[in-house]
Structure 1
Amino acid sequence: MDYERQPYRRCGRSGLLLPAVSLGLWHNFGGGKSLDSQRAIFHKALDLGITHFDIADRYGPPFGAAEATFSRLLSPSLRDEVVVTTKGSNPMWDGPYGKGNSRKHLLATLDRSLARLGLDNVDIFYLHREDADTPLEEQVATLDYMVRTGRTLYVGVSNFSPENTARAAGMLRDLGTPLLVHQPSYSLLNRRIEDELLDVLEQHGVGCVVYSPLAQGLLTDRYLNGIPDDSRAAEGRFLTPDRVTPQVLTFVRALAEIAEARGQSVAQLALAWALRDPRITSVLVGASSPEQLEANVAAVDRLDFTDEELAAIERTAKETGVHA
């Protein structure tokens, strides 16, 4: 493992350091994928100093497959060298207890995740999304209980509103189990967390690990000339063709010119841009090959931006109407 390949950033006010670029197992670690190819990506991640692996109970397909795959890749000798996360909230099985943030569901789904992972605990457990039907007090008390019973070392939330993030952080602090991290979506095409959430996280000392920093592949060279037949958008998997609008393509082409002048690809520029804010702890990237992962991690080689470059990005976004 090359700990010098990329910088490590402190997660909020905790003692935990995470790599600037982390590996998410959302798309490429489910069933139907070659175990050899998954193993190659995993070992390349280690070679690139990636110590943080982000999973969820639903990642697959089928549900649970990413956790089961990861259990086959992680050797016991590496357990103390990596940060393993998982999440719960979404529907996992039929019936009234198979979804949501009730104490009943959350404890059951985490125990099932630990069984699939073959681990005694995870490093971070997230509430994957809000649950308006369960009192926040119950959700927070359950997170605290998970830590106290050794199921997870830290707890986080994902896709929570700024208001509920602040409330959860305050409640957890009172219980003695600080909220470690929030995981929102963030990219040059989705900047909503800049409006309020980042300020809340800074105020409460909560880290921020962002997903979809490449907007499901839109912020790459992949769509500069339209939608390739073998692309995610063509298949309608998480990225639908209607999102590849002329405005977005115009913006990405402008980014390509800025990236070329910086000696980067569009993807590397987009990742570096997300990491420009010190409140962002890490960006999560997926990878379908070791080469793709290596190219993404190379974003850390140029994290600085001139005022002129940032102004050009903002101006182009405003002109094309994609500043979200």
Structure 2
Amino acid sequence: MHTPSPSRYSDSSIYKRCGRSGLKLSRLSLGLWHNFGDNVFFENARTLVLHAFDKGITHFDLANNYGPPPGSAETNFGRILREELAAHRDELIISTKAGYLMWDGPYGEWGGRKYMLASLDQSLKRLGLDYVDIFYSHRFDPETPLEETMGALAHAVRSGKALYAGLSNYNPDQTARAAAILRDLGTPCLIHQPKYHMYERTPEHGLLDVLAREGIGCIPFCPLAQGLLTDRYLNGIPADSRAAHDPRFLKPEDITEAKLAQLRALNEMAKARGQSLAQLALAWVLRQPVVTTALIGASKTKQIDDNLGALKNTDFSDAEIASIDKILAS
């Protein structure tokens, strides 16, 4: 059983209240989308989770289909909980989601009540938990009444299998409608998880305003653009990088000479602020008042430490924001 660092809560500034709720989250949350399935070395996954917790990161983000294979990230995280952190369950915020394809047949994806609640039960079994802290609808279902999907989230909360309800990948109108339904059901929406980074600005076109108005926290995923907004690609595509071997995510054609020039300019700006490029990118996301926490991934503990360094300076002058916009428009 792991003995956590006694100094893990020494810096209270790394926690922020989520929307208008009573819940505070660490400003960075560890996502288990990659590096926690059965295709990786389990001991490294264990090391990453325990290191993050020792550094004050209390929020761990999963989904039913994370792996590969689907479900294995929850199973592996459940093992880490059972073997290392069982005594600290009440210090942890654990989230999972349902929405994408998980099993064959007509009830294995999207937002129907049967799928949502069956998926949650399966997730709890893999995690070895009685409840998760946050249960998300992972994507909007265009063929299921929104009342049904939100009713499933509300039922999960009322049944005690989740403490809070969340949304992911919903547009501004869908989010506003979902928030109204959940509020009427007595289970307000806690948090929304959109893709948001310097190259993906869609949430700025209405979503952030809806979240602020509704009192919903925001947790951007891919804030580092799947590694693009790090020093990893400043000189092109390394032979051992994801872009060189796994076209499902960051693609070689995404890393053009024009983009490399932008990244190098951003890196120089980061240096002037005393930050790495990754720290600059995270701070840029976290500067938004509605953003509670940013979702990071990691394959090495030093990446977690570097990312946490972003919290030392999340303030930007108007001139710095203008300079970033100018670089990205070049």
- Structure-2-length-normalised TM-score: 0.95
Aligned residues: 319
Query: 1:41 is matched with which residue?
Result: 48
The yes-or-no answer on 1:304 pairing with 2:288 is no
Shift of 1:97: 0.8
Equivalent position of 1:13 in the other structure? 20
Larger CA deviation: 13-22 vs 228-237: 228-237
Are positions 1:117 and 2:124 aligned together?
Answer: no
Q: Deviations over 1:65-100 (max 9, x none)?
A: 110011111122111001000000111111111111
The residue aligned with 1:206 is 216
Residue identity matched to 1:111: D
Structure 1 residue 57 and structure 2 residue 57: aligned?
no
**Unaligned runs of at least 5 residues, structure 1:** none
The 1-side partners of 2:218 and 2:259 are apart by: 26
* Aligned-partner residue type, residue 43 of structure 2: D
Structure 2 counterpart of 1:11, which letter? C
Alignment of 1:258-277 (within 5 A): 258-277=269-288
Shift of 1:169: 0.3
C-alpha RMSD of matched pairs (Å)? 1.0
CA distance in 2, matches of 1:228, 1:29: 23
Deviation at 1:240, TM superposition (A): 1.2
Provide the secondary structure at the position in 2 that maps to 1:210.
coil
- Give the 5 Å matches for 1:65-214: 65-74=72-81, 75-214=85-224
For 2:259, the equivalent position in structure 1 comes to: 248
The Cα shift of 1:38 comes to 1.1
Distance 2:110 2:328 in 1: 37
Distance 2:169 2:235 in 1: 32
Q: Deviations over 1:81-128 (max 9, x none)?
A: 010000001111111111111001011111000000000000000001
- Once residues 225 and 4 of structure 1 are traced to their aligned partners in structure 2, the CA distance between those partners, rounded to angstroms, is 38
In the alignment, the residues of structure 2 paired with residue 116 and residue 61 of structure 1 have an alpha-carbon distance, to the nearest angstrom, of 14
- The answer to whether structure 1 residue 223 and structure 2 residue 223 are counterparts is no
- Percent identity over the alignment? 55
CA contact (8 A) 1:44 1:294 kept: no
**1:304 Cα shift?**
1.8
Range with bigger deviation, 35-44 or 279-288: 35-44
Partner Cα separation in structure 2 for residue 307 and residue 200 of structure 1: 23
1:110-162: CA deviation from partner (whole Å, max 9, x where unpaired): 10000000000000000011111111011111111111111100000100010
Q: Which moved more, 1:247-256 or 1:51-60?
A: 247-256
Q: Partner letter of residue 296 of structure 2?
A: V
Shift of 1:282: 0.4
Distance, in Å, in 1 between the alignment partners of 2:253 and 2:196 is: 20
Structure 2 residue runs of 5 or longer lacking an equivalent are: none
Q: Per-residue deviation at 1:18?
A: 0.4
**Greater Cα offset, 240-249 or 264-273:** 240-249
Distance in 2 of aligned mates of 1:112 and 1:104: 12
Q: 1:314 matched to which residue of 2?
A: 325
SS at match of 2:33: coil
Per the normalisation by structure 1, the TM-score is 0.96
